[in-house]
């Protein structure tokens, strides 16, 4: 979609806005278009696929999405991020303001519809330890995404560490691109992993076996985590621990994965309540407590691609006023609970940072500096923690885990949701 470089924000209207073109957004879009709804589809990336299908959609979905992209009822706003959201009470509609990060000189786009589906997915969770901010250390999913986009990993010595199946998916990508994986360090115990494997449904067990076969030969250690990282200006080595023994390992890249967190900023800006787990609260039909606002996928709780697809399809049925089948969702939620139970974090993994370890990377605030304050609000005011480019998306959850500060419900979200050029702030 083209916008002009000068003048008023462009305004678009439809029956439904979907934010997010990952599996949940895709699964919702197709039935809505088929039922004759006019849809505005907003996605900050340049193409559909979300996190899991970043390198391309599976064949089954590709054909359907390609057909949908030329559907006359669809207005596509790819490459656009939502920076503001509110409910127009007089018009009983949701209004969002969009910005194109790749074309910062353009005016913003204002989109409005009586119904909104939030399919904003999740992001990686980080836990700090001494050295965790060294160049060469990324999220495991981030490393995977970089490699899929062509980052040169060939010949580099890579360690994947943290918890959960994303470590294996990232290892698979890195290995295919020629990276040398020295170790996958999984913090969950061997007993927990065996119980997880034994409780997998047949289809997931077959997938896991296929992945394990592709990763054969790579050392995999359970009950093991990275205790610290060191290097002169960039990562050169890590210290590993089992709680009983520690040892050093030289490496060039470290991908960390401690699970995912739901992306809820947009929902919070609109006033949707969150669950105790920090996800968007929804009913059995994926409706939030705000009229016309629905949510689906990882933003309603982390659970993997099957949950996102089931919830996207269910939300679409509810938005059409129909009763959808929730059986696929129930199955996917069961798997999500199974995953969470067996990959819960070892207490020691939450206690690795020392007083000089940076917690807020944007504003360079250490754990020691934060500990001088009572709560998140006071720490923000005194140290600027959470006030940098990431707006507390990384350090907020860390402070919750390490200091017990409830930051998620109380992040004080303000427009714009991300940094924008000044001329956009001057628009009416």
**Under the rule (CB under 6 A), what is the footprint of ligand FAD?**
19-25, 42-45, 50-52, 81-82, 119-124, 141-142, 144-145, 166, 169, 260, 263, 266, 297-298, 304-305, 308
Q: At what angle do helices 166-176 and 140-148 cross, to 10 degrees?
A: 30
> Which CB sits closer to ligand FAD, 33 or 82?
82
The distance in angstroms from the start CA to the end CA of the chain is: 21
The count of other CB atoms within 10 Å of the CB of residue 384 is 14
CB atoms within 10 A of CB 330: 11
Residue 280 gets which letter from DSSP?
B
Quickly list DSSP for 305-339.
Answer: HHHHHHHHHHHHHHHTT-----HHHHHHHHHHHHH
User: Do 266 and 85 meet the contact criterion of CB atoms below 8 Å apart?
Assistant: yes
Pick 98 or 107: Cβ nearer ligand FAD = 98
Q: How many CB atoms lie within 10 A of CB 150?
A: 8
Closest distance of CB 27 from ligand FAD, Å: 8
Q: How far is the CB of 246 from ligand FAD (least distance, A)?
A: 29
Q: Which is nearer to ligand FAD, 248 or 425 (CB)?
A: 425
> Judging by beta carbons within 10 Å of its beta carbon (0-12, 13-18, 19+), is residue 204 exposed, middle or buried?
middle
Smallest distance from the beta carbon of 55 to ligand FAD, in angstroms?
A: 9
Smallest distance, ligand FAD to C-beta of residue 80, A? 6
Q: Measure the CA–CA gap between 384 and 248, rounded to whole angstroms.
A: 35
Helix (H) or strand (E) holding 247: strand 246-250
* Least spacing, CB of residue 95 vs ligand FAD, in Å: 14
Residue 229, both tokens: 């990282």
Cis peptide before 385 (omega within 30 of 0): no
Q: In whole angstroms, how close is the CB of 105 to ligand FAD at the nearest point? A: 19
Q: 113 near 11, Cβ under 8 Å? A: no
Residue closer to ligand FAD by CB (options 123, 370) is: 123
- CB nearer to ligand FAD: give 46 or 404: 46
Residue 76 or 379: the one with the smaller Cβ distance to ligand FAD is: 76
The least distance separating ligand FAD from the CB of residue 86, rounded to whole angstroms, comes to 14
Instruction: Identify which of 4, 55, 47, 1 has the alpha carbon closest to the alpha carbon of residue 25.
Output: 47
Contacts of 314 (CB under 8 A, 6+ apart): 285, 286, 296, 324, 325, 326, 328, 329
Smaller CB separation from ligand FAD, 223 or 259:
259
User: In the complex with ligand FAD, which residue's Cβ is closer, 79 or 223?
Assistant: 79
Q: How far is the CB of 186 from ligand FAD (least distance, A)?
A: 16
Q: Which two tokens stand for residue 358?
A: 């940076």
Shortest gap between Cβ of 373 and ligand FAD (angstroms)? Answer: 30
Which is nearer to ligand FAD, 142 or 243 (by Cβ)? 142
Pairing of strands 122-124, 260-262: antiparallel
In this complex, which beta carbon is closest to ligand FAD, that of residue 264 or of residue 366? Answer: 264
CB of 20 to ligand FAD, least distance (A): 3
Nearest to 219 by CA among 178, 143, 159: 159
Cβ closer to ligand FAD: 223 or 297?
A: 297
Name the minimum Å distance from CB 407 to ligand FAD. 19
List of long-range contacts for 367-375, beta carbons under 8 Å, 24+ apart = 367/128, 367/402, 370/399, 370/403, 371/403, 375/405
The CA radius of gyration of the chain, in Å to the nearest whole number, is 22
Spatial distance between the Cα atoms of 251 and 234, rounded to a whole number of angstroms: 11
């Amino acid at each position: 979609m083209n916008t002009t470089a000068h003048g008023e924000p462009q305004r678009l209207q439809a029956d439904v806005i979907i934010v997010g073109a990952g599996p949940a957004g895709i699964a919702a879009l197709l039935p809505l278009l088929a039922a004759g709804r006019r849809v505005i589809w907003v996605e900050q990336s340049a193409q559909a696929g979300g996190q899991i299908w970043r390198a391309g959609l599976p064949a089954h979905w590709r054909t359907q999405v390609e057909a949908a992209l030329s559907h006359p009822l669809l207005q596509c706003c790819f490459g656009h991020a939502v920076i503001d959201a509110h409910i127009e009470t007089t018009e009983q509609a949701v209004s969002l303001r969009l910005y194109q990060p790749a074309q910062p000189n353009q005016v913003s786009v204002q989109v409005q519809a009586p119904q909104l589906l939030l399919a904003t997915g999740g992001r990686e969770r980080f836990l700090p330890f001494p050295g965790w901010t060294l160049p060469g250390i990324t999220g495991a999913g981030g490393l995977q995404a970089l490699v899929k986009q062509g980052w040169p990993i060939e010949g580099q010595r890579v360690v994947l560490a943290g918890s959960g199946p994303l470590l294996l998916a990232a290892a698979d990508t890195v290995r295919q691109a020629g990276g040398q994986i020295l170790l996958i360090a999984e913090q969950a115990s061997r007993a927990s992993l065996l119980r997880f494997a034994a409780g997998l449904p047949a289809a997931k067990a077959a997938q896991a076996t296929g992945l394990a076969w592709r990763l054969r030969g790579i050392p995999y250690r359970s009950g093991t985590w990275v205790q610290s990282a060191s290097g002169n200006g960039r990562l050169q080595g890590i210290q590993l621990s089992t709680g009983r023994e520690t040892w050093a390992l030289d490496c060039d890249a470290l991908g960390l994965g401690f699970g995912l967190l739901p992306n809820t900023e947009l929902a919070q800006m609109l006033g949707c309540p969150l669950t105790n787990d920090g996800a968007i609260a929804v009913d059995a039909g994926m409706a939030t407590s705000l009229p016309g606002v629905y949510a689906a996928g990882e933003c309603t709780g982390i659970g993997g691609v099957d949950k996102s697809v089931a919830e996207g399809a269910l939300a679409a049925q509810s938005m059409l006023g129909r009763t959808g089948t929730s059986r696929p969702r129930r199955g996917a939620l069961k798997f999500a609970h199974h995953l969470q139970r067996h990959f819960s974090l070892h207490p020691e993994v939450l206690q690795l940072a020392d007083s000089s370890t940076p917690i807020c990377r944007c504003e360079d605030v250490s754990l020691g500096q934060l500990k001088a304050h009572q709560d998140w609000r006071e720490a923000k005011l005194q140290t600027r923690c959470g006030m940098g480019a990431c707006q507390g998306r990384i350090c907020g959850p860390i402070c919750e885990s390490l200091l017990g500060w409830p930051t998620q419900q109380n992040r004080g979200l303000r427009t714009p949701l991300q940094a924008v050029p000044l001329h956009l702030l001057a628009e009416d």
